[in-house]
Chains A and B, each alone.
Chain A
Amino acid sequence: LSKKVQAIYLWWHKPVIDRELLQSLPNLKVIANSGAGMDHLDMKLVSSFGVKMANAPCAVSSSTADAGMALLLASARRIVEVHHIAVSSSMDYCEADILGVKVSGATLGIIGMGRIGYKIALRARAFEMKILYHNRTQRKAQEEQAVGATYCEKIDSLLQQADFVMVVVSLTPQTRNLIGKRELELMKPTATLINISRGAVVDQEALVMALQAGVIGAAALDVTYPEPLPRDHPLLKLKNVIITPHLGIKTDKATYMITEEAVENILAVLNGLPMPSEVLPI
């Protein structure tokens, strides 16, 4: 069987692609990933076996942008907290204690203005949010104007002004621990950090300390390191933290589109055609 395998469709990081597996599949030509992030793959290793790689960047962008907005709104309006109050056996609360933060008109800072970041900007604009962004490179003027986004060449400037900081970068050696103690301290004490990228982009211990000390106001995390967190982790107990189980791309529609994109890439390789979304090791 192992000689027959020409393609792997990697669903949710399984199977684990290591040297042993690659050696046991001599005719493997392509690994298609179910999602955009490739940080779980040793791309240099895979490439050294002459195996091509593909991700599914288009399929994931809308659903992930939606998830980012869902987390922003849920955190600002305290949806999880007040739902639990509304269904709990004792309705013991004071109106003034459950007030949220007004989203419309607030400032959103997007770190990472790629496909997903840009879709977030489009959505946030409809909420009349003021949009700042930080990116490796500045976007074209028309693109900026279309969403009313202002470029912050230095991340510090974004962190100091934003009410909501949304992290949407891919995980690379440069973005590991991008948000640490220094960055959290630059943020407003009323600000919310939303992470829909990868857990490792944020220095998690620094985040816990910042939340406990009131250095920032709240956090909403779709991703952590590891996933799931150990059951005794402090992040699970903080009142001002929403954690979701990496649901960024988990919709019926996105799953379908991701699979379509993967199959397109696999067929392209097997037929010797150009791949729609090939990923090369950096």
Chain B
Amino acid sequence: MWYHKPVVNKELLQSLPNLRIVASSGVGIDHLDLNLLSSFGVKVSNTPFVISTDTADLGMALMLASSRRLVEGYEMAVSPDTEYFPADWLGTQVSGATLGIVGMGTIGYKVAERAKAFEMKILYHNRSQRKKEDESAVGAVYCKKIDDLLQQSDFVLLAVNLNPQTHKLIGKRELELMKPTATLINISRGLVVDQDALVEALQNKVIKAAALDVTYPEPLPRDHPLLKLKNVIITPHIGSATKKTRRIMMEEMIESIQAGLAGLPIPHEVL
């Protein structure tokens, strides 16, 4: 299963009596009804760790591209109307700024490791606090209340998985707590953000910019306001989209399928 296709619902499961396993690409399984699958005796696997590094890399890429206005800059550099580069055209500095990571799992932690090298001050919010050694290694400070993180961050990066608690985690209230100079980066799932509230916040300069690898739906309808905002970068869910990683994902999925068909323990089984 790649990119949530085919849709696994009751009709499909009823029509495939010999289905033993669904191997899903990537780490997210929010598109699968695990209880339903279990009731049909179908096992589920994902590819959890191989995607972490590329996704963390992409989070950093989006933060840098957004803050330094790379897409706008490129358009200026190649536009047929450009005669000179204006002297007062500025971006926002990443080095030394404050990064707030919401969701400090494997991916969130890898982002912290990278951000530390940019001399960023790192805050994080997570269901539970991480071990002291882990925190010290990246200089991350725990914010038990997400509000504290939102109020202090220049960049807010979402790296949670999608579940009932994280659905619309970032809404009007959270956006208003953010600095008006802050940027929201989403590499988790579109539904973690209240998209309509985000559009309003961006239009009214409640926050400065957004960089989104994920939206809801994917892709967005072609007339969606997010596609037209100058201060928004959108990428088509490319978190794990490198040749190397996709190859390994495929290998892992095949491994899981073969194990599932042979009745052996399934690597990366999702229970």
Listed in ascending order, the chain A residues whose CB lies under 8 Å from chain B are 11-12, 62-63, 65-67, 69-71, 73-74, 76-80, 82-83, 85-87, 89, 91, 93, 95, 98-105, 122-123, 125-128, 227-229, 231, 236, 242-247, 250-255
Contact = CB atoms under 8 A, between A and B. Distances in A.
B132 interface: no
B219 interface: yes
B93 interface: yes
Best-surrounded residue of B87, B114, B246 (most CB of chain A within 10 A): B114
B117 A228 contact: no
Contact of B74 (A93, A98, A127, A244): A244
Nearest to A250: B90
B126 interface: no
A126 B113 contact: yes
The 9 closest A-B pairs by CB, nearest first: A126-B117, A70-B64, A73-B61, A253-B93, A62-B95, A251-B93, A245-B85, A243-B77, A102-B242
Q: Which of B53, B73, B84 gathers most chain A CB within 10 Å?
A: B73
B65 interface: yes
A263 B53 CA distance: 43
Given A73-B57, A86-B219, A231-B82, A62 B93 contact: yes
A244 B73 contact: yes
A77 B58 contact: yes
B19 interface: no
Contacts of A66: 64, 68, 93-95, 118
A246 B243 CA distance: 30
Contact of A104 (B57, B67, B78, B233): B57
12 contacts: A62-B119, A77-B57, A77-B58, A79-B71, A83-B235, A86-B227, A95-B241, A98-B241, A101-B243, A102-B243, A251-B92, A252-B93
B231 to A, nearest CB: 13
Contact of A228 (B56, B69, B84, B227): B84
Contact of B53 (A74, A99, A104, A229): A104
Given A74-B70, A123-B118, A245-B85, 19 more contacts: A62-B119, A66-B64, A69-B60, A70-B61, A73-B57, A74-B61, A79-B61, A79-B70, A85-B236, A86-B219, A87-B227, A95-B2, A100-B242, A101-B242, A102-B57, A228-B83, A242-B70, A244-B77, A251-B91
Contact of A99 (B73, B85, B241): B241
Nearest to A120: B117
B245 interface: yes
A33 B75 CA distance: 28
Contacts of B238: 77-78, 82, 98, 100
Given A82-B235, A126-B113, A73 B64 contact: yes
B54 interface: yes
Given A242-B74, A246-B85, A83 B233 contact: yes
A200 to B, nearest CB: 17
A82 B73 CA distance: 16
A70 B61 CA distance: 6
A126 B78 CA distance: 32
A95 B3 contact: yes
A102 B74 contact: no
A33 to B, nearest CB: 14
B89 A250 contact: yes
A251 B94 CA distance: 9
B234 interface: yes
